[in-house]
């Protein structure tokens, strides 16, 4: 007889979502969390797309500690001293709970979700690092934390991007530098009014702003600004395999981003309240590990569930959906008393039919684009050249817009390279 | 905005640091400078510094991201684990 029906390692979004669904179904659930409270070891850019949590807690934004509801999108292509912005504001953005997205801070948000799990009947033990999984005859039967062994019918791994536990039992290969990016982020404090004025927002409305180009000096990665209630999340992300390309450190990329003339005015006067770092899975479906074995399932970042399209970055909605589906699989396994890989088979089947695997499959060509030098070096330079020519009037006779563009392309790239780039981008979409 | 050092930025965080035991085991005598520079440049907390051909490392201020582990496991980084429960960085914002 096991101590619990299910042990969940990690009290983040995947873990807490699974815990809520399992506890509601009457199963004995234990969540083990490394932080003193859930959320304390977690960090996001970040924005949460609400649709998957809506399925578990309808209208959650009415009570959850969200920061702002995103109604404005902005993407920028940056080079040294220049920045081309594309903005989109619409009453259609975040118009319904199912399509809404929210800026969030994880220490606050995850703590709330963990409380929901406790209300549903799950038990949470914080401040404990799980050292290893207990495996008997090829079946995971529990966990070991500092010599204390706790057994369960099934263990759900929601232990984050590094997932040393999935690696240690061979479900997941060691991460490779091209599969992950490092994010470094500052949370800067202002008044709510200053943020509203600077970003052109009404109270409660937020902006998500993603950039590529300059701060990484041509390296794979980009910058981000998300408006929280009375703080800004300001960060950079850099793919590990490309570290060293511009011979610039990650902390210096962040400083370079903050001091760019098109960024700095938005940040003036902010007081730093926290500095954080985290890894982001970047290779999408190509880095999916073994998702189930006898007595164990892998969810969320631990499974690499994330997509980065440049203008849209998703991971948290995948984590929540995968946590829910893992829980549904465990409920089915519990009802037939079979926690083997076959008994947990619903998880992989449901994932395959869900947006998680379908979206990662649709955009499976994207990780390739995000490791093309042209995208991060040549495109920003060309955009800078063309925009500068378009917007500069100096009394000299011009060439005409088409010739500006043709000449810039001819200077920066060969026709063959350009066709190759466009082909790859079209394939990825 | 006025430039802040990484050390000052980390000073705004809450840490319950294990001052004695490091959760990361670093080979400070690792011979390949190119490998060393990768972790020096990538670590968001600037835990790794390289001056006068000497690698220094301090786990104090580590943000537990795993960047150095993925970049250099088996090379500069001999062993990497999360700190013991109740130790390390504790985000209040995240």
> What is the model's pLDDT at position B1?
79
ipTM for the predicted complex: 0.98
Residue with tokens 């001819």: A410
A301 and A415 in a common domain = no
Instruction: Check CB contact under 8 Å for B93 and A273.
Output: yes
CATH code of the domain in which A343 resides:
3.50.50.60
Q: Say if A329 falls within a structural domain.
A: yes
> Beta partners for A47?
A103
> What is the model's pLDDT at position A250?
98
> Beta partners for A30?
A7, A123
Instruction: Check CB contact under 8 Å for B42 and A250.
Output: yes
A117 and A26 in a common domain = yes
Contacts of B1 in chain A (CB under 8 A): 258-259, 264, 267-270
Instruction: Check CB contact under 8 Å for A182 and B82.
Output: no
Q: Say if A242 falls within a structural domain.
A: no
A12 and A126 in a common domain = yes
Q: What is the CA radius of gyration of chain A?
A: 23
> What is the model's pLDDT at position A205?
98
> What is the model's pLDDT at position A188?
98
Q: Residue A51 is encoded by which pair of tokens?
A: 């649709």
Q: How far is the alpha carbon of B53 from chain A, nearest alpha carbon, in Å?
A: 17
A126 and A21 in a common domain = yes
Between CA A366 and CA A281 the distance in angstroms is 13
Are A74 and A85 spatial neighbours (Cβ–Cβ below 8 Å)?
Answer: yes
Are A307 and A282 spatial neighbours (Cβ–Cβ below 8 Å)?
Answer: no
Instruction: Check CB contact under 8 Å for B91 and A186.
Output: no
A344 and A414 in a common domain = no
> What is the model's pLDDT at position A401?
79
A382 and A322 in a common domain = no
Say how many CB pairs under 8 Å bridge A and B: 141
Nearest by CB: A182 against B9, B67, B90: B67
Instruction: Check CB contact under 8 Å for B1 and A276.
Output: no
> What is the model's pLDDT at position A295?
98
Residues in chain A where the model's pLDDT stays below 50: none
Number of Cβ atoms within 10 Å of the Cβ of A310: 15
Contacts of A245 in chain B (CB under 8 A): none
Between CA A48 and CA A41 the distance in angstroms is 17
Of all residues in chain A, the one with the smallest CA distance to B1 is A268
A344 and A380 in a common domain = no
A135 and A16 in a common domain = yes
Between CA A257 and CA A78 the distance in angstroms is 10
Contacts of A43 in chain B (CB under 8 A): 91, 94
Between CA B46 and CA A380 the distance in angstroms is 28
Number of domains, chain A: 2
A383 and A294 in a common domain = no
> What is the model's pLDDT at position A408?
82
Q: Which range of residues forms the domain containing residue A374?
A: 369-428
Query: Of the candidates A368, A377, A370, A371, which has an alpha carbon nearest to the alpha carbon of residue A412?
Result: A377
What is the bridge-based pairing of β-strands A29-32 and A123-125?
Answer: parallel
- Cα A158 to the chain's mean position, in Å? 14
> What is the model's pLDDT at position A45?
93
> What is the model's pLDDT at position A312?
85
A16 and A133 in a common domain = yes
What is the bridge-based pairing of β-strands B54-57 and A180-189?
Answer: unpaired
Instruction: Check CB contact under 8 Å for B82 and A34.
Output: yes
Between CA A385 and CA A158 the distance in angstroms is 46
Q: Say if A284 falls within a structural domain.
A: no
């Amino acid at each position: 007889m096991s101590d619990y029906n299910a042990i969940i390692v990690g009290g983040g979004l995947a873990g807490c979502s699974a815990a809520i669904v399992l506890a509601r179904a009457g199963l004995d659930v234990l969540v083990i969390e490394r932080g003193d409270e859930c959320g304390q070891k977690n960090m996001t850019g970040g924005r949460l797309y609400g649709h998957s949590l809506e399925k578990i807690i309808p209208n959650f934004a009415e009570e959850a500690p969200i920061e702002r509801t995103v109604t404005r999108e902005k993407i920028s292509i940056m080079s040294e001293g220049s920045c081309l912005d594309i903005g989109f504001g619409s009453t259609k953005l975040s118009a319904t709970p199912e399509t809404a997205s929210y800026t969030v801070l994880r220490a606050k948000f995850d703590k709330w979700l963990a409380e929901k799990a406790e209300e549903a009947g799950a038990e949470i033990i914080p401040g404990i690092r799980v050292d290893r999984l207990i495996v008997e005859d090829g079946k995971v039967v529990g966990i070991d934390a500092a010599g204390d062994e706790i057994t369960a019918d099934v263990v759900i791994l929601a232990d984050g991007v590094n997932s040393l536990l999935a690696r240690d039992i061979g479900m997941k290969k060691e991460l490779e530098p091209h599969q992950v990016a490092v994010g470094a982020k500052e949370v800067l404090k202002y008044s709510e009014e200053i943020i509203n004025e600077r970003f052109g927002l009404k109270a409660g409305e937020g902006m998500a702003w993603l950039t590529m180009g300059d701060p990484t000096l041509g390296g794979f990665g980009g910058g981000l600004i998300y408006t929280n209630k009375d703080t800004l999340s300001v960060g950079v992300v850099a793919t590990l395999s490309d570290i060293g390309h511009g011979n610039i450190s990650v902390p210096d990329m962040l400083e370079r981003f903050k001091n760019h003339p098109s960024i700095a005015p938005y940040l003036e006067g902010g007081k730093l309240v926290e500095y954080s770092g985290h890894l982001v899975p970047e290779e999408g479906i190509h880095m999916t590990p073994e998702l189930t074995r006898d007595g164990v399932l892998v969810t969320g970042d631990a499974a690499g569930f994330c997509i980065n399209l440049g203008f849209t970055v998703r991971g948290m909605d995948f984590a929540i959906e995968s946590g829910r589906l893992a829980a549904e699989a465990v409920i089915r396994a519990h009802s037939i008393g079979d926690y083997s890989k076959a008994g947990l088979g619903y998880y992989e089947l449901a994932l395959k039919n869900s947006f998680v695997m379908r979206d990662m499959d649709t955009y499976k060509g994207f990780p390739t684009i995000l490791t093309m030098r042209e995208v991060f070096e040549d495109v920003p330079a060309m955009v800078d050249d063309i925009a500068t020519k378009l917007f500069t009037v100096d009394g000299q006779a011009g060439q005409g817009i088409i010739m500006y563009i043709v000449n810039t392309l001819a200077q920066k790239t060969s026709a063959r390279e350009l066709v190759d780039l466009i082909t790859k981008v079209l394939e990825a979409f | 905005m006025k430039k802040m050092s990484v050390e000052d930025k980390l000073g705004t965080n809450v840490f319950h640091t294990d001052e004695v035991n490091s959760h990361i085991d670093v080979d400070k005598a690792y011979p390949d400078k190119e490998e060393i520079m990768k972790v020096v440049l990538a670590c968001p907390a600037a835990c790794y510094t390289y001056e006068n051909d000497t690698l220094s490392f301090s786990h104090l201020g580590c943000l537990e991201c795993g960047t150095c582990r993925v970049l250099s496991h088996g090379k500069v980084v001999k062993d990497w684990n999360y700190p013991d429960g109740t130790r390390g960085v504790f985000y209040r914002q995240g």
